[in-house]
Structure 1
Amino acid sequence: MSFDVDSSNAQPQGASPGPVFFDRRELDQMLRIYGRMVAAGEWRDYAMAGGRDHAEFAVFRRHGDAPLYRIEKRPALRLKQGQWAVIGEGGHVLKRGRDLAQVLRVFDSRRFTVVE
């Protein structure tokens, strides 16, 4: 097994990089939207998960419900469809792109109401 000497992590060549997660700037953007929606009374909880190929920020109407929306980061798609996606409750992709701020605008363009 050979090691990549240029890398500060000294990972074996061909090995996948560490788990995917959000950086501070990305989290700040997502938490701003979350805070605005909580203040409007529409969202009440969130969860984050990082994995080998993607990271996910999910928002919930109530603690025990299925996620209303998921914001996914998939770096493998950054050159194709864009690494960011907002996915709705039914699994439909609402917005996809290369820039997180652009993708998060999907929450500005609609009037969200709680339906029970």
Structure 2
Amino acid sequence: MSNVTPFPAYGQKAGQTGFDRQELQRIMDLYGRMVSAGHWRDYALDMGRDAAIFSAFRRSAERPEYRIEKRPALRHRQGMWALIGEAGHVLKRGQELQGVLAPVERKLLKIVDD
């Protein structure tokens, strides 16, 4: 009972990549709007050493319709955020999460007649 394991200090490279609170809030806000619009029904989170991935599904038995990936190693190259489609093609890549989510958010826009 006297063994104390030190908690890794903030800023040290941990063994897992994850989303911070604001990023996850933005992604879950989009997920909630897509669920209420009837586009998505399920999601999955995968947090590994190299990437954190949020996958959104139309049905849970299918491949994800979209994957939102955060890869910090690409921060200074192509941008650490990527939006990947169902077929595995990169649809959008960038430095900011908001810009990468824009193509998905466009699906929620509706034209309203007066």
Distance in 1, Cα, partners of 2:69 & 2:79: 11
2:77 corresponds to: 80
Number of aligned residue pairs: give it.
102
**How far apart are residue 109 of structure 1 and its match?**
2.9
Deviating 4+ runs (over 4 angstroms): none
Q: Deviations over 1:48-88 (max 9, x none)?
A: 01001001000001111111100000000000000000000
Secondary structure of 2:77's counterpart equals coil
1:71-110 to structure 2, matched below 5 A, reads 71-110=68-107
- For residue 33 of structure 1, the aligned residue among 30, 49, 62 is 30
1:50 corresponds to: 47
Structure 1: 5+ residue runs without aligned partners? 1-6
User: Which region of structure 1 is more displaced relative to structure 2, 36-45 or 103-112?
Assistant: 103-112
Q: Deviations over 1:70-107 (max 9, x none)?
A: 00000000000000000000011111000111111111
Distance in 1, Cα, partners of 2:45 & 2:74: 20
- TM-score normalized by the length of structure 2: 0.81
What is the root-mean-square deviation of aligned Cα atoms in Å? 2.1
Structure 2: 5+ residue runs without aligned partners? 1-7, 110-114
The one-letter amino acid paired with 2:20 is D
